[in-house]
């Protein structure tokens, strides 16, 4: 069973330091060395493998963005404190990287309790969820990521645990089977999912609060980048923070990842501080365009334009042509492309929207005179 204490990362992934640190002969090599000698030899907290951890806000007051959710939780926390009861169960949904795990950890910190973190695929066998529930202490926050992937047996065990803080176990089989009930401490379940539509309604109905996390706006993202840069002791100009904010697809996790890539670039190329130009150069090297789209996005958009004449095209067809997992397309690539108006969902499948053609420098064949003729039935498609 994968349970980690609240202060450790879900997926530690400490980036290694660039091998050629120090002055180089590349662009910017004549700039002064940015960091103190001590900073250049010492590994920071995040370089030791706690990348996300080091940058997470710990209290509600430090959490930037998601204003509506914070307001709701502020009231719920105050009420729970007044009544000296655990917080109601909370279901968070939305695209990956928007801070669902972070929010669960913030709630535990606000309640001064522990946060137990696990993921539904790790609760494969009944004994996994039983062991987890029996290890809880009064007031604990239990965070289950990807809760839409919970096996049905685990889900059945969770219902009485959520409703009545009770574990109903069946012992033995057939005519000798007996049932046993174990009382559990009162806890708060925080479920997270990128696929709210895949959660069964009985499970969904047992959450007292259900909230969607939205993409962050540019102002919030700039504040997050500036906060992270401060924690990493980096010199980032407002124009640099803005440039990262506009390339991070509305997602703090991506903002922090890009910040680290820019930090590597500035270190190796010896830029004293990070401005818009440094960000543009660093991220162009990683093939991230000014809107934050990467080669996977470009491939998807180009395939739709060139092979499907802009659509509509079904998810499974698109996934097969791209050789991608449909789930990845649906939960990772598409949400931001929909958000910026590059894609549209129609009952007949996905369609490419005019801004995507403009951004890629492609002609919308459907709008060209030749295609008008084809659509009018004068020429067969593909002629
Ligand atoms: N780092 C990552 N997400 C954050 C957020 N929402 N607020 C502050 N810092 C963050």
Look at residue 287 and tell me whether its pLDDT is greater than 70: yes
Same domain, 274 and 254: yes
Report pLDDT digits (tens) over 214-260.
999 999 999 999 999 999 999 999 999 999 999 999 999 999 999 99
Structure-token pair, residue 207: 């959450």
Q: Are 55 and 99 contacting, i.e. CB atoms less than 8 angstroms apart?
A: no
Please provide the distance, in angstroms rounded to a whole number, between the alpha carbons at the two ends of the chain. 58
Same domain, 185 and 100: yes
pLDDT band at 368 (very low <50, low <70, confident <90, very high): low
Same domain, 68 and 190: yes
- Answer whether 224 contacts ligand 1 (Cβ < 6 A): yes
- The pLDDT of residue 11 is 36
CA distances from 189 to 3, 242, 263, 368 (A): 14, 36, 37, 54
Look at residue 376 and tell me whether its pLDDT is greater than 90: no
Q: Are 244 and 259 contacting, i.e. CB atoms less than 8 angstroms apart?
A: yes
Give residue 64 CA to ligand 1 midpoint distance, Å.
6
Distance CA 90, CA 88 (A): 6
In a domain, 23, yes or no: no
Distance CA 253, CA 264 (A): 17
Same domain, 261 and 318: no
Give residue 225 CA to ligand 1 midpoint distance, Å.
8
What number of CA atoms fall less than 13 Å from residue 208's CA on the CB side?
13
- Answer whether 55 contacts ligand 1 (Cβ < 6 A): yes
Structural domain count, the chain? 3
Give residue 244 CA to ligand 1 midpoint distance, Å.
14
Atom of ligand 1 nearest to the CA of 65: 6
- Answer whether 64 contacts ligand 1 (Cβ < 6 A): yes
CA distances from 164 to 44, 103, 204, 206, 208 (A): 45, 24, 16, 11, 13
Give residue 243 CA to ligand 1 midpoint distance, Å.
17
In a domain, 30, yes or no: no
3-state secondary structure of 281: helix
Atom of ligand 1 nearest to the CA of 253: 2
Q: Are 158 and 129 contacting, i.e. CB atoms less than 8 angstroms apart?
A: yes
Q: Are 146 and 117 contacting, i.e. CB atoms less than 8 angstroms apart?
A: no
Structure-token pair, residue 293: 């789209």
In a domain, 312, yes or no: yes
Same domain, 202 and 269: no
Residue labelled with tokens 């079904």: 314
Report pLDDT digits (tens) over 157-186.
999 999 999 999 988 888 888 889 999 999
In a domain, 14, yes or no: no
Provide the CATH number for the domain around residue 183: 3.40.50.300
Q: Kindly report the average pLDDT of the chain as a whole number.
A: 85
Distance CA 112, CA 6 (A): 11
Same domain, 59 and 201: yes
Distance CA 285, CA 295 (A): 12
- Answer whether 271 contacts ligand 1 (Cβ < 6 A): no
Same domain, 315 and 354: yes
Pocket test for ligand 1, best of 50, 59, 64, 231 (most atoms within 8 A of CB): 64
Mean pLDDT of the 196-209 span? 96
Give residue 227 CA to ligand 1 midpoint distance, Å.
8
- Answer whether 99 contacts ligand 1 (Cβ < 6 A): yes
Radius of gyration of the chain (CA): 25
CA distances from 287 to 55, 132, 257 (A): 25, 43, 14
Report pLDDT digits (tens) over 16-44.
333 333 333 333 333 333 333 333 233 33
Pocket test for ligand 1, best of 69, 102, 222, 231 (most atoms within 8 A of CB): 102
The protein residue whose alpha carbon is closest to atom 3 in ligand 1 is: 252
Distance CA 287, CA 294 (A): 6
Look at residue 276 and tell me whether its pLDDT is greater than 80: yes
Domain boundary among 285, 309, 339: 285
- Answer whether 97 contacts ligand 1 (Cβ < 6 A): no
In a domain, 18, yes or no: no
Same domain, 65 and 112: yes
Report pLDDT digits (tens) over 80-136.
999 999 999 999 999 999 999 999 999 999 999 999 999 999 999 999 999 999 999
Report pLDDT digits (tens) over 314-366.
999 999 999 999 999 999 999 999 999 999 999 999 999 999 999 999 877 66
Same domain, 207 and 222: no
In a domain, 47, yes or no: no
**In the chain, which ranges are E strands?**
90-93, 115-119, 141-145, 166-171, 178-183, 188-193, 209-212, 343-346, 349-352
- The pLDDT of residue 170 is 84
In a domain, 201, yes or no: yes
Same domain, 116 and 181: yes
In a domain, 314, yes or no: yes
Q: Which residues are catalytic?
A: 100-101, 145, 194, 253
Give residue 96 CA to ligand 1 midpoint distance, Å.
14
Structure-token pair, residue 336: 């931001």
- Answer whether 283 contacts ligand 1 (Cβ < 6 A): no
**In 123-258, which ranges are E strands?**
141-145, 166-171, 178-183, 188-193, 209-212
Residue labelled with tokens 């129609």: 346
Domain that holds residue 311: 295-365
Structure-token pair, residue 291: 């809107």
- Answer whether 65 contacts ligand 1 (Cβ < 6 A): yes
Mean pLDDT of the 39-54 span? 49
- Answer whether 240 contacts ligand 1 (Cβ < 6 A): no
- The pLDDT of residue 120 is 97
Same domain, 270 and 305: no
- The pLDDT of residue 367 is 63
Pocket test for ligand 1, best of 230, 252, 259 (most atoms within 8 A of CB): 252
Same domain, 356 and 254: no
Query: 219: Cβ–Cβ under 8 A, 6 or more apart, which residues?
Result: none
Q: How many helices (H) and strands (E) does the chain have?
A: 17, 9
């Amino acid at each position: 069973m994968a349970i980690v204490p609240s202060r450790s990362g879900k997926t530690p992934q400490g980036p290694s330091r660039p091998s050629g640190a120090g002055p180089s002969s590349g662009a910017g090599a004549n700039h002064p060395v940015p960091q103190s000698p001590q900073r250049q030899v010492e590994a920071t907290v995040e370089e030791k493998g706690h990348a996300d951890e080091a940058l997470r806000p710990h209290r509600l007051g430090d959490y930037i963005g998601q204003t509506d959710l914070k307001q709701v939780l502020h009231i719920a926390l105050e009420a729970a404190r007044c009544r000296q009861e655990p917080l109601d169960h909370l279901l968070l949904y939305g695209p990956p990287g928007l801070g669902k795990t972070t929010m669960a950890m913030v709630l535990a910190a606000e309640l001064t309790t522990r946060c137990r973190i696990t993921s539904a695929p790790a609760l494969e066998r009944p004994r996994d969820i039983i062991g987890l529930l029996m290890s809880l202490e009064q007031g604990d926050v239990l965070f289950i990521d990807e809760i839409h992937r919970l096996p049905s047996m685990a889900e059945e065990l969770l219902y009485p645990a959520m409703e009545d803080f009770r574990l109903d176990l069946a012992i033995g089989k057939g005519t000798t089977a007996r049932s046993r009930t174990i009382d559990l401490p009162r806890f708060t379940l925080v479920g997270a999912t990128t696929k709210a539509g895949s959660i069964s309604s009985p499970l969904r109905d047992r959450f007292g609060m259900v909230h969607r996390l939205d993409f962050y706006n540019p102002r919030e993202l700039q504040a997050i980048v500036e906060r992270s840069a401060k924690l990493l002791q980096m010199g980032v100009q407002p124009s640099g923070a803005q440039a990262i904010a506009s390339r991070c697809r509305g997602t703090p996790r991506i903002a922090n990842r890009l910040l680290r890539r820019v930090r590597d670039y500035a270190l190796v190329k010896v830029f004293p501080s990070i401005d818009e130009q440094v960000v543009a150069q660093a991220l162009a090297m990683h093939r991230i365009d000014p809107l934050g789209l990467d080669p996977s996005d470009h491939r998807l958009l180009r395939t739709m334009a060139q092979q499907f004449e802009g659509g509509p095209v079904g998810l499974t067809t698109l996934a097969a042509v791209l050789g991608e997992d449909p789930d990845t397309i649906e939960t990772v690539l598409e949400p931001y492309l929909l958000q910026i108006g590059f894609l549209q969902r129609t009952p007949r499948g996905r369609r490419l929207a005019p801004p995507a053609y403009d951004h890629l420098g492609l002609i919308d064949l459907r709008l060209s005179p030749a295609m008008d003729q084809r659509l009018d039935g004068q020429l067969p498609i593909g002629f």
